[in-house]
Structure 1
Amino acid sequence: MSDTYRPTGLAELRDALVDSKGERLAVAGGGSAADWGGAPEHDAVLDTTGMSGLISYNPTDMTVAVQAGMPFATLQETLAENAQWVALDPARAATVGGLVATADAGPVRHTYGTSRDSVIGVTVVLADGTVARSGGYVIKNVAGYDLAKLFHGSLGTLGVLAEVILRLHPRPAATATLAVPCDAATAFDLGGTLVHGGLEPVALEWSDGVLLARFDGTAGGVEDRLRRARALAGADATEAAADAWDAVADLVRGTDGDTVVRLGTAPDRTASLAALVGREASAHAVDAAMASSPYAGAHTVRLRGATAAAHAAVVTALRGEYPAATICRWADGLRDELPAWGEPPPAVAVLRAVKRSFDPDDRLCPGRFAPWF
C-alpha cells in the first residue's frame, strides 16, 4: 500500500512535495476523475481533500477564494445563501481544484464557458516545492503567466493546485427547460433558431435523442421565452420535467461496466459524430448513448454492454476522427485493449516542453498522459 500525504494548507502542501522528493506522486481530489486518461504510476498519493477551507468571500465584489480541495457542491451551497453561484454545472461530485485540473464543465458551458472562464487566480505548488501565484481578485488582471489556463486540463501533471479564486454570478430567480425530441441535425438547426431568435437559452444540450433548452431569468421573462421557444420548436415540444438534467448527468457519468469518452468537435460536426457513433455501435453490438453541447462542440459518448474488445473497437473508430478523445470511465478489461490516448496532437512537442519545465523529474502523475509523455 502506498503512503498518503494529506496536507491541510499551503505550507503543509509545500512541505509534502519537498519531503517526498524522489517519490512519484498521484494527485487525488474527490476521486470522481481518478480514471481519466492513463493510470498514474506512483509511490505515494497526495490527497488534496484536507485543503477544503473558505479563504475569503466578498459577495459585493462577486469573488470567492477557496482551498482547492473544497468540494464544489459545498462551495455552491455557501454561495446560495447570497443568491450567487459559480456558473458551472459539472455532472460529477468534484473538488474545485479537480474541476480546473480536468477542464470539466456541464451544459451551461453554452453561455458561461468552462472553469477557465470562471477562474481569475490560482496558487500552485510545483514538484520541487516552489509556490507560484497568478491572477488575483481583479477580473481583468492578466499580469504574468496565466497559470490558471495552463493548469486547466493538466490532470495533475504540472503541479498541485492549492488555492483558487473564482468570479461569481447572480442566481436566476426562475428557470425552465424546453424538451424537443429530434435527431442531431435537427437539434443543431433548432438550437441555432433559438439562439439567433434572441431567446438566449443558458444551456442547449442534445442528449439521447432529445434537445433540452434551458432558460434562466425573472419569472415573467422565463415564461415568455419558454412560450416563444415552444412556438418555434413545433408541436412535439414540451416543458421538461424537473429531473431532465439529472438524466443528462447520469449519462455523462456512466456507471460500473460502462465506457465513457469525451471529445470536442467543430460545432457543425455534431450530426456526423452522432452518425459515426451509431454506425460503430451497431457494427459491434454496443449500446451507445450521446450527450452534446452542440454549439460548444463538447460531446460525451457512453458505451454499455458487449465486451471490452467491442468497446475498444468503437473507441478506436472515434479516435480515427478525433485523436484527443479522453476516456473518462473504462469498462472492465478495456485498458488491456487499447492505450489511454490516441495519436498525439500536433502540439505534443510543446506539451512535453511545458512538462519538462514544470516537472523535470516526472514526479507528478507519471503515466497520466502516456504514451504522449
Structure 2
Amino acid sequence: MNVMERLCPSSYDEASRMLHEASTGGNTAIVGSGSRDAWFPPARSPVVALDSAALSGIVRYTPADLTICVRAGTPLADVQAALGREGQRLPLDPWPQGTVGGLIASNDNGPLRTRWGGVRDALIGVRVALPNGEVARFGGDVVKNVAGYDLTKGYVGSAGAFGMIVEATFKVQPQPARGTSTALSGTLDAVAAAWRALRERALPFAAIEVVRTEDGWTLYALAEGDGVIVERLIRECGEAARNAGCSTREAGHDEVVEQARKPAGARTWLRVGVPPAQTASVLASLAPDQRAVARPWVGIVEIFGEALGEDGLMPVLRGAVEARGHAHVRRADDGLRRLLGWWRIEQIEGGRTMFPMLKNALDPARRCNAGRTIYDQLDEG
C-alpha cells in the first residue's frame, strides 16, 4: 500500500478528527495490526493510513452481565486472556494474530462458528469514527432485539468501508466444563455421510471440521459441555463413523486448531462460501494438489496449497458462484492474482442495493478504503 502518512489516534474524538481531515484531502486507509491487510486489494491512490494500535484496552467488563466492551485496537488474545481469568470466553477462534477491530472488519472466524455463529452473532454494539468528523454509536451494551436495520451488523465484514471502528461490545459465555474431539477418517464419501448423519440428528457439536491432507480426509467433531453431554456426543460420533465406514480416534483440541489455521500459512489461499448442502460438491471438485479445511455445517471451504494454478482453481470459483455462493482469494502471487481477481460473488439484487446505500449514507465521498473492498466491486458491478 502506498502510504503518504500514518496516523495513530489515541482517543475517539481524535480518530474522528483525523479521519475527517484525511478524507477531506484525499483517500484514507483504516488499518489495525495489518495481519489481514494482504486479503484486500491495494489502494487505488496514495493514502493516509489510520492505525488503531493506540486505541487499546478494556472499557467495561462485568462478568455477571456476560458482556465486554473493548477498544478496537485491543489484540483478541488480550480479550480472551481477560475473560479466561473469570472463567469466560468470547466464542470466536480465528487465527490468533490481529485486533478486535480487524476481526470485525474482516468477519474472520474459526471452528467454533459451527455452534456459536460468527462475529455477527457475538457483536452487540460498535462505536465508529465517521468521515464527517462525528463519532456514532450503534447497538448497545446489553443483548436485546433490534427493530429495523441493525447497523452494528453492517460493520461486520465492512473492511473499513464505512468508517473506523473504535470500540466494540460483545456478548460472552462461560468456558465449557469439558471439551474433547473425535477424529473420523475415511474417503470423502464416507466422511460426508458421517457429517450429514450427525447434522440430521441436530447434535450440539461445538465444531465440525473436515480436513483434506496428504493421507486423505478427516472429520474432527468437537464436543463441549458437561460430562453427560460430551459422553453422548462421543457415542454419537462412534455410531456415525461405524455406519459410514470411517475409522475413529481421540484428537486433542490443539490438533483441531492447528489444522484449522494451516491455510493462513500457505502461498495460495481461497475461502469459499456456499449453501451447506453444496459443501461436499466443492470438496469433490478439488484437484489432487489442493488441500482443504471445511466447515460443512455452515458451508465454508478454505482451499490452499503452495503451487496451485489457474486450471485447478477456476472450476472452484465458478462452482461457488453457480451455487449462489461467494469466493475470496485471500492470498495468491501476482500472476495468479491477475487471473483470479480478489472476489467472485453471485450478484443478487440485495447486494447491489444495500451496500451502496450504506456507503452513500456513511461515506458519500467514497474516501474510506476506496477500491479495497468487495463493496466497491458491488458498487461498480
Same fold flag (TM > 0.5): yes
Aligned residue runs from structure 1 range 285-324, under 5 A: 287-305=289-307, 310=309, 312-323=310-321, 324=326
Q: Secondary structure at the match of 1:49?
A: coil
Q: 1:32 aligns with which of 29, 32, 35?
A: 35
Q: CA deviation at 1:199?
A: 4.4
What does the per-residue CA deviation read over 1:17-50, in whole Å, with 9 as the maximum and x for residues that have no partner? 1221222111111222112232223421111121
What does the per-residue CA deviation read over 1:288-322, in whole Å, with 9 as the maximum and x for residues that have no partner? 1111110111111113225xxx2x34343222222
Q: In the alignment, residue 329 of structure 1 is paired with which amino acid?
A: R
Q: 2:285 aligns with which of 276, 284, 290?
A: 276
Q: CA deviation at 1:145?
A: 4.3
TM-score with structure 2 setting the length? 0.88
Q: CA deviation at 1:232?
A: 3.3
Cross-structure match for 1:167? 171
Establish whether residue 363 from structure 1 lines up as the match of residue 374 from structure 2: no
Cross-structure match for 2:275? 266
Q: 2:222 aligns with which of 202, 208, 214?
A: 214
Are the aligned partners of 2:185 and 2:219 in contact in 1 as well (CA < 8 Å)?
yes
Are the aligned partners of 1:14 and 1:129 in contact in 2 as well (CA < 8 Å)?
yes
Distance 2:150 2:203 in 1: 34
What does the per-residue CA deviation read over 1:147-200, in whole Å, with 9 as the maximum and x for residues that have no partner? 221111111111111110100111012110000113444333312323444642
What does the per-residue CA deviation read over 1:77-135, in whole Å, with 9 as the maximum and x for residues that have no partner? 00001110111111241211111111111111111111000001111122222222111
What does the per-residue CA deviation read over 1:198-228, in whole Å, with 9 as the maximum and x for residues that have no partner? 6421110111111000001124542443244
Residue segments in structure 2 that go unaligned for 5+ positions in a row: none
Distance 1:143 1:14, change over 3 A: farther
Are the aligned partners of 2:268 and 2:307 in contact in 1 as well (CA < 8 Å)?
no
Distance 1:15 1:174 in 2: 48
Cross-structure match for 1:11? 13
Are the aligned partners of 2:260 and 2:293 in contact in 1 as well (CA < 8 Å)?
no
Are the aligned partners of 1:291 and 1:299 in contact in 2 as well (CA < 8 Å)?
yes
Distance 1:272 1:141, change over 3 A: closer
Q: Secondary structure at the match of 2:34?
A: coil
Aligned residues: 360
Distance 1:231 1:268 in 2: 22
Distance 1:318 1:39, change over 3 A: farther
Aligned residue runs from structure 1 range 225-240, under 5 A: 225-234=233-242, 236-240=247-251
Residue segments in structure 1 that go unaligned for 5+ positions in a row: none
Q: CA deviation at 1:57?
A: 0.1
Give 4+ residue runs of structure 1 displaced > 6 Å after superposition: none
Distance 2:126 2:199 in 1: 33
Are the aligned partners of 2:13 and 2:135 in contact in 1 as well (CA < 8 Å)?
no
What does the per-residue CA deviation read over 1:250-270, in whole Å, with 9 as the maximum and x for residues that have no partner? 323133xx1111111111111
Establish whether residue 98 from structure 1 lines up as the match of residue 102 from structure 2: yes
Distance 2:211 2:225 in 1: 23
Distance 1:360 1:76, change over 3 A: same
TM-score with structure 1 setting the length? 0.90
Q: Secondary structure at the match of 2:368?
A: coil
Distance 2:251 2:328 in 1: 30
Q: In the alignment, residue 221 of structure 2 is paired with which amino acid?
A: A
